[in-house]
Homo-oligomer: A and B are copies of this chain.
């Protein structure tokens, strides 16, 4: 069974990555030692280095691992939906659900990952772009269908949508998760779709 060795390796890798997410979100990336991640994963310090190049690679890999899961879930959930507006709504809901479901993952994505180190930001860019592309695809679909305005660049819309959701999650986290997060999807969508201007008010 040649597969067995590969499987064991992948399993071990996952085990370490998930320990890293937990440890980083609890201690904070910079204040978390590699030894703490190892302990959390139940392996020796040196073992980490058999799977990852170093602490930074651990952070970046953990991000990719987590984002991979989220994007997969999104693709699976959005595929059956026809209406771009529905897709948009579901996308926001999933984003909020994921964060609400796993607070440590939320803290990891929302706080620990915002490292100003250039190399980290660079490494993180790609999976973030993948998420951005998902959002923009839905928006473009909406433009094509005629349900979304065509006179605002898609990128601007995407930034507004993502920025709004992101800020919402941040606030929720910093207030120590007061109540459920998912219900906020409704108002957010309403706002993004219809704007904040009162109907009948002047331009």
Given contacts A146-B198, A159-B171, contact A187 B29 (CB under 8 A): no
Q: A117, A163, A167, A192: which has the most chain B beta carbons within 10 Å?
A: A163
Task: Give chain B residues whose Cβ lies under 8 Å from the Cβ of A61.
Answer: none
Interface size on A, residues (CB 8 A): 51
- Assess whether A38 is interfacial by the CB under 8 Å rule: no
Give 22 A-B contacts (CB < 8 Å), ordered by A residue.
Answer: A29-B116, A112-B116, A114-B114, A121-B174, A146-B198, A148-B197, A149-B197, A149-B199, A150-B198, A152-B191, A152-B196, A155-B171, A156-B184, A156-B188, A157-B191, A157-B196, A159-B164, A159-B167, A160-B192, A163-B166, A167-B167, A193-B197
Q: Is the interface of A mostly helix, strand, loop or mixed?
A: helix
A69 is an interface residue with CB less than 8 A from chain B: no
Give the complex CA separation of A159 and B169 in angstroms: 10
Judged by a CB distance under 8 angstroms, whether A111 is at the interface is: yes
Do A196 and B164 touch (CB < 8 A)? no
B195 A31 Cβ-Cβ under 8 A: no
- Best-buried of A149, A157, A168, A188 by chain B (most CB within 10 Å): A149
A77-119 vs B, CB cutoff 8 Å, 1 = contact: the mask equals 0000000010000000000000000000000000110101110
